Structure 1
Amino acid sequence: MATPLTADALLAALHAEGVRTAEYRSWRTHNRNTRGAWGPVNGVMIHHTVTSGTDSSVALCYDGRSDLPGPLCHGVIDKSGTVHLVGSGRANHAGLGDDDVLAAVVAERALPAPGENNTDGNVHFYGFECVNLGDGRDPWPEAQLDAIARTAAALCRAHGWHAASVIGHKEWTDTKIDPVGFTMASLRNRVAALLAAGPKGPAAGTPSPAASHEPFPGAAFFTRRPRSAVVTAMGRRLVAEGCSRYTEGPGPQWTDADRNSYAAWQRKLGFSGADADGWPGRTSWDALKVPRTS
């Protein structure tokens, strides 16, 4: 159970996992939050689109249909392995499903067969639509399968979940069949392997943080309690984000106030436990957008 990631934190988590992304229209503020709760989140749900073609599939998932307004997911994963981000917040993707399945996801244990549709899954799951006709004949390129696994792993890593937190729509409700063409067990095996291996880093062609932003200096930089203009710039960004725990400063010397302020930033992004211990990591650092100091 966790607080949903902000748009910036989601993007940073995907890039840290080696996912190639494309930002579609006003995805950062596009959601159904006025129609119901968003969070706490408990897992990642995978779908297929029953469509072909990237552009039309992305547009459909952003806009929705007359009977089901968009966004219809948080991202659309095309056959080349690019994740097109279409929503941040509550999305119309999961619908009603089984509360026993949700309990199993929370506990990260084997899923029961869904038999009831009594729980709003749009509250609890990130959703990703994968471009495929879902007829059992439309192929799943390796680049697409890899991107699906990396996307799921990125969210699991960000929230401290394991691969058992990744489910298919058909595992949530007995009214759906997606995804068709690969097994969820095989996908979870991929996710588990990625989580065990550690983050890959940005994919080739992924935009790097803008030249005006300070690159992540590495975790060891902070544990050495440095005295640096980077620490001052970081502290000023934490103050701007409403995460100040300073009684004076911030200044160039790393102190417990910096760590406490950074922990507040990590919690704002949705991290918890050991992932919100105040020691900067690449995902939260990229999301903070610290101005370059030299």
Structure 2
Amino acid sequence: MANPLSATALVSALRAEGVTVVEHAGWRTNNRNHKGSWGPVNGVIIHHTVTTGTDSTVRLCFNGHSGLPGPLCHGVIAKDGTVHLVGNGRANHAGVGDPDVLAAVAAERATLPAPDQRTKDGNTHFYGFECVNLGDGKDPWPEAQLEAIVRASAALCRAHGWSARSVIGHKEWTSAKIDPRGVAMTDLRARVAARLTKAPATPSTGSAKPVHQPFPGAAWFRTQPRSAIVTAMGRRLVAVGCSAYEDGPGPQWTEADRRSYAKWQRKLGYTGAAADGWPGAKSWAALKVPYSS
């Protein structure tokens, strides 16, 4: 039993474990805390999405749908192993499950009981990761994605002082679910346990923060985000002589940001559609935007 991590602590823990993280605009305040308590937390639940495509899945998990408002998890784990953060706080992912399972997870017992009751609110007690997979038993689970599940789970276990027994599948929480189909949770927990015997990739302290802002992903900019990252980017564009700003820059992404970035792309030698003002990974790395937490 533990208090939930803050958004900054969560990002730090994930990155310290070597996870590639994308912070989507608004994720730090995207939650269902007005509908019930968030915490104390006891573990991590792994899900599959029954979807294809990273961008559309991230949007779905951030916003939810008419029958279930978002966020639908805390992070979406893509096929390439990138973890996209979409929620911070109570999320609609676990639903009701078995209180005996919760007790077993809290006690870190080696064996979980069969989930034959549906009376306990899991959204209070579990972090949730949705993994992009059709859940039909045929859609593959790439090694990069499995490794990201292991590292993300280990990051939370390490931060809270939990063992791998604190990581369960949705199907182990409630008999109403079958996810994650195609993943043996016993094998996954064994990998998390092995991971926890090693030191994290980098210290999980303030020194773990990168000097430069990791690339948020091309799709992130097209959502017209409002973020300190946009401000930091704009200031760098001004510093390198590529400003098309009349006001600002930042924190709201605007057409002036796109025009300024297009100037930067042309300065790097890009032409035509490659200099359309939408950031790409290589031009972003060259810009060296200072890290913004």
Q: Same fold (TM over 0.5)?
A: yes
Partner of 2:165: 164
Q: Contact 2:40/2:125 (CA < 8 Å) preserved in 1?
A: yes
Query: For 1:115-154, what aligned pairs fall within 5 Å after superposition?
Result: 115-154=116-155
Greater RCO structure (CA 8 Å; 6+ sep): 1
Partner of 2:233: none
Deviation at 1:211, TM superposition (A): 6.4
Partner of 2:85: 85
Deviation at 1:210, TM superposition (A): 3.7
Give per-residue Cα distances to partners, 1:27-84, cap 9 Å, x unaligned.
0110000000000000000000000000000000000010100000000000000000
Q: Secondary structure in 2 aligned to 1:46?
A: strand
Structure 2 CA distance for aligned equivalents of residues 132 and 161 of structure 1: 27
Structure 2 CA distance for aligned equivalents of residues 101 and 65 of structure 1: 28
Query: For 1:54-65, what aligned pairs fall within 5 Å after superposition?
Result: 54-65=54-65
Structure 2 CA distance for aligned equivalents of residues 208 and 34 of structure 1: 31
Asked if residue 28 in structure 1 is aligned to residue 28 in structure 2, the reply is: yes
Structure 2 CA distance for aligned equivalents of residues 8 and 210 of structure 1: 15
Query: For 1:90-101, what aligned pairs fall within 5 Å after superposition?
Result: 90-101=90-101
Give 5+ residue unaligned stretches, structure 2: 214-292
Deviation at 1:209, TM superposition (A): 2.8
CA shift in 2, pair 1:158/1:208, >3 Å: closer
What amino acid is aligned across from residue 179 of structure 2 in structure 1?
A: D
Structure 2 CA distance for aligned equivalents of residues 150 and 211 of structure 1: 22
Give per-residue Cα distances to partners, 1:259-286, cap 9 Å, x unaligned.
xxxxxxxxxxxxxxxxxxxxxxxxxxxx
Give per-residue Cα distances to partners, 1:181-228, cap 9 Å, x unaligned.
1100010001000000121239xxxx953469xxxxxxxxxxxxxxxx
Give 5+ residue unaligned stretches, structure 1: 213-288, 290-294
Q: Secondary structure in 2 aligned to 1:44?
A: strand
What amino acid is aligned across from residue 4 of structure 1 in structure 2?
A: P
Structure 2 CA distance for aligned equivalents of residues 88 and 208 of structure 1: 19
RMSD, aligned CA = 1.9
Structure 2 CA distance for aligned equivalents of residues 106 and 119 of structure 1: 14
Q: Secondary structure in 2 aligned to 1:47?
A: strand
Query: For 1:281-292, what aligned pairs fall within 5 Å after superposition?
Result: none
Structure 2 CA distance for aligned equivalents of residues 195 and 180 of structure 1: 24
TM-score by length of 2: 0.70
CA shift in 2, pair 1:103/1:90, >3 Å: same
Q: Contact 2:12/2:209 (CA < 8 Å) preserved in 1?
A: no
Partner of 2:50: 50
What amino acid is aligned across from residue 81 of structure 1 in structure 2?
A: G
Percent sequence identity is 69
Deviation at 1:141, TM superposition (A): 0.3
Partner of 2:175: 174
Structure 2 CA distance for aligned equivalents of residues 112 and 200 of structure 1: 34
Partner of 1:74: 74
Q: Contact 2:28/2:87 (CA < 8 Å) preserved in 1?
A: yes
Structure 2 CA distance for aligned equivalents of residues 200 and 136 of structure 1: 32
Matched pairs, number: 211
Q: Contact 2:105/2:165 (CA < 8 Å) preserved in 1?
A: yes
CA shift in 2, pair 1:132/1:211, >3 Å: closer
